[in-house]
Amino acid sequence: MRNLYLILLITMICLSCGQKQQNQSSFTSDNMMIRIAEIEIEPNYLDDYIAILKEEAEASVRLEPGVISIYPMFHKENSNQVRILEIYADEEAYKTHLQTPHFKHYKTETENMVKSLRLIDMSAVDEQTMPQIFKKLGK
């Protein structure tokens, strides 16, 4: 009976490791969609915009498995200049993101606050290092 439990335990561990490996391999940089959004905000709306953006970014990362990063930043010398590092598992994850209630809320609520928007598609220079960056943040 003890051997049976040991075999079951080993099997469960192996299956767990296999699932973990499968999850890690599904986020390969070959499929990832990486983008930088350059946004200029009307100065009198900056506080409102930032509050809505923070809600949207948090909800996207928390609720959407395919959203790896929605990381908003603003220029230190000109806080009306916002940049967002967006990383999606793949193009399908991005398309799904665009249909979520939190993104639609962000888009409609901030429409009159945005002076300009430029979306820049990017490619990773060092694909092997990217997973290490996110592992460090978890420590």
Residues 22 and 38 in one domain: no
Q: In angstroms, rounded to a whole number, what is the distance separating the alpha carbons of residues 54 and 93?
A: 20
Sign of dihedral through CA atoms 116, 95, 21, 5?
positive
Residues 103 and 71 in one domain: yes
The dihedral over CA atoms of 64, 80, 130, 136, expressed in degrees to the nearest 10, equals -90
- pLDDT tens-digit readout, 15-69: 444 434 334 445 566 789 999 999 999 999 999 999 999 999 999 999 999 999 9
Domain count, the chain: 2
- With bands split at pLDDT 50, 70 and 90, how would you rate the model's confidence at 130? confident
Q: In angstroms, rounded to a whole number, what is the distance separating the alpha carbons of residues 40 and 118?
A: 9
Using only C-alpha atoms, the chain has a radius of gyration, in whole angstroms, of: 20
Residues 14 and 63 in one domain: no
Minimum mean pLDDT among 24-28, 57-61, 71-75, 106-110: which range? 24-28
Residue with tokens 């299956």, as numbered in its chain:
15
Residue 118 has pLDDT above 50, yes or no: yes
**C-alpha 8: how far from chain center:** 37
